[in-house]
Structure 1
Amino acid sequence: MATIPTRIDQALFDAAKAAGELQSRSAAQQLDHWARIGRELESSPAVTHDAIARVLAGQSPYDALGDREQAMVRAAWDQQLTERIGGLDFEDRLRTGGRPWPEADADGNVVMRDAGPSGRGA
């Protein structure tokens, strides 16, 4: 079986490594296992993709879905949250708003940051 290198999120790799250790699999083997399960779920006639899309669009209740559909919705929500969190830049918002903020320095001490050009003042 040929393999193709790909980039994945560090958190997903760490989760695969931890789960794989419990199943005597490498992280790559665990990711492959999860991908196969996902492929089977998506191609299953028991999974109603229209119902999943309606829940993701906020048009239908989550509780109306079966277990498999709920699992797929949770995976989609997890990905959406990860993408949104990755795009957050609170320092930029605070600086733009002219507001100071507390932050931990390298030693774990609380330091107040100002909204000036350097953001490193008292």
Structure 2
Amino acid sequence: MDALRDAARVNSRSISGQAEHWIRIGRAIERDPTIGYSKVDLALRGLEPLALDTLGDAEQDAFIERMGDAPATAVEQDFWRKRQRKGLGVGLDDDGNLEFGKAVRPTGGQ
């Protein structure tokens, strides 16, 4: 119950909304033949590390898509700001092309 309350607070959901969310995830995993309950069960018990290269194509796609939904941490935001200032790649556009930041040029005779 404590974990449910904590997750509900972090995710801005009601306790029942968080429980429903977890139930939907569990049901989807049980029904999806590409994921397999046994793999999830091993991971939950800490018996099988889930490295990205051990996942199937559909699992990798789902993982990567979910990673995009996670909010950036302060460290990650700082990393991307620095890349953008240097004019380096900072992401992908809607067509999947690499986007670049605008290089900041020194001013004041430097």
TM-score, with structure 2 as normaliser = 0.36
Q: Of the two, which has the highest radius of gyration?
A: 1
